[in-house]
Amino acid sequence: MILDILFKVVGGLGIFLLGMKYMSEGMQAVAGSRLRKMISAVTDNRIMACCIGTLITGIVQSSSVTTVMVVGFVNSGFMTLMQAIGVILGANIGTTVTAWIIALNISKFGLPLLGVAAFFFLFSKRERVRYTAMALLGLGMVFFGLTTMGDAFKTPEVKEYLTQAFTVMNGTTYLGVMKCAFFGMLATMIVQSSSATIGITIVLAQGGIIGFDTAAALVLGLNIGTTVTAFLASIGSSTNAKRAAYAHIIFNVIGTLWLIPFFFAYVKGIDAIFVHLQGFFARTQEGWDDVTAKIALVHTGFNLINTIIFLPLMKPLAHLVEKLVPEKKVDEINRLTYFDIRMLDTPALGIVQSKEQILFMAESVEKMAGWLGEVLTSDEQLDELENKIFHYENIMDNVQKEIVVFLSEMMTGQIPHDVMEEARREMRMADEFESLSDYLLNVLKGHVKLRTNQLILSPEGRLELLDLHNRVVEYIKMINDAERNGNTDILGRAQTDSENITRQMKEYRRLHLLRLSESKTSPLHSLVFTDMLNNYRRMKDHALNIAEVIAGDK
């Protein structure tokens, strides 16, 4: 009997968690383009950022996923600290949607919904229908998992044992409330899912194993426990990413601590509000759904009150985390957080972060080209700029690797066709930008080689090289601007300018070979110089490849 009960609890919890995952992935796939528009619309307007955080979390069904995503966006430079705090405040409200879904009186339809949705998911050819069915399949699994766990807890022996076990942290005293909050925090930290904790809490309350006061106290604790995921994601990230994670922790910890002294008054207030709202909730004979709706109201009310309190205090909160996490003295280079597997739970939004890294690579290439131009123009040896170019080339190698690993991991999951195509496009562009950085470095190496061998460019050769450099740099900037602005009509102009650069490069090579035939330059000098010219031609070719990707040709 013990094994049978254990199997039901473990199996029911597993089905519940898998259902949450399917529901989240299905809704993301259906609303993917809208989610990307929402996250791109985040501004420093705290109310707008909060609303967007609420909507996104309501769709992805996990505040942990949203906060990890926000930490990743701040780490990649896509989002500022103030914007991140606003989204995090909203995420705490959005995560309460899970409890309201469970509060719906449709648990008896969980298994039929699961079965019907599974057929559409498996056999439908239309992508939108398939992912909608996936979301409904997840919803059915959520209710079926809860029902399975509930059946295990209904056994008289189990109910009696669990009721006695939970008397240790009964939420009828202040000490009991603190014990419950601690237990809820610990459980959420272990499973790293507030949805799982609140699901189990609701099942225990529905079965009469714990009272409403105890359930409400557990809910307080899970709000602290859910912050551990964002904290783990911030380890090894940029200063601002750490600040975003700390802001989440401070918000939830202070929000929980100040409410504990007023806990019983808060619970009475929830009871009074629920009496007025009771007509909106379907009731079973056992009254279980009443308890579920009240727990959902506790969760929503708690986060709503704290958000209203903290919204005007966003700037002081930002200043506080800035003091807690001071700026590093060394320059920081933005990195992806592909190593955090939770980023892969939001492919529709994760693709936004990798896109930001592509733009970072584009900006880095422009910086390297600018520094190289200064090196080629100067009559003096500019060691600092030369070292920067070498340093950035290593960074570009690492960022390209991170993008490829991140997107490859993402493409192994259930993702919509448009996200798959965007991932392939970004992988191709990352490769092209990394190649551009290689050829910029090759030109610098050629310049260093000439200097090491005490070979000086002729005035004509120097002017030709600088002219070609400026033409190629302007060409790269034009294509990068097209990528930033989403200009898909760039290809025609890019092809025309490419042919002009090729003709100019061949002309400069012809003039140089003429000088060589007239013994105005040495063979070694000629070898290095023509190699530098060829590197610019290859840069132009890779930039043209990027233009073709932007236009959708490759």
Q: What is the pLDDT of residues 105-140, one digit of tens each?
A: 666 778 888 899 999 999 888 888 988 999 899 888
| pLDDT at residue number 554 | 54
| pLDDT at residue number 245 | 86
C-alpha dihedral, 308 to 309 to 310 to 313, nearest 10°: 120
Of the listed ranges 219-228, 350-359, 437-446, the least confidently predicted one is: 350-359
Q: What is the pLDDT of residues 244-299, one digit of tens each?
A: 888 888 988 998 888 888 889 988 888 888 877 665 544 444 434 578 888 888 88
What is the pLDDT averaged over residues 366-391?
91
- List helix spans (H) across 311-346: 314-324
Q: Which of 514, 510, 505, 520 is nearest to 458 (CA)?
A: 520
Highest mean pLDDT among 272-276, 330-334, 491-495: 491-495
What is the pLDDT averaged over residues 149-155?
77
The overall average pLDDT reported for the chain is 83
| pLDDT at residue number 280 | 55
Residue 332 reports pLDDT greater than 70: no
Residue 427 reports pLDDT greater than 80: yes
**What is the Cα–Cα distance from 205 to 196, expressed in whole angstroms?**
14
For the chain, domains (ranges, CATH) are 2-324 (no CATH), 346-551 (1.20.58.220)
Q: Which of 269, 259, 155 is nearest to 212 (CA)?
A: 269
Q: Which of 427, 435, 428, 366 is nearest to 396 (CA)?
A: 435
**What is the Cα–Cα distance from 501 to 473, expressed in whole angstroms?**
11
- For residue 23, the Cα-to-chain-centroid distance in whole angstroms is 18
Q: Which of 513, 545, 103 is nearest to 284 (CA)?
A: 103
Highest mean pLDDT among 227-231, 396-400, 404-408: 396-400
Q: Are 45 and 83 in contact (CB under 8 A)?
A: no
What is the pLDDT averaged over residues 495-501?
93
Identify which has the larger pLDDT, 442 or 17. Answer: 442
What tokens does 376 get?
């080629």
What are phi and psi for residue 340, nearest 5 degrees? Answer: -90, 110
| pLDDT at residue number 356 | 81
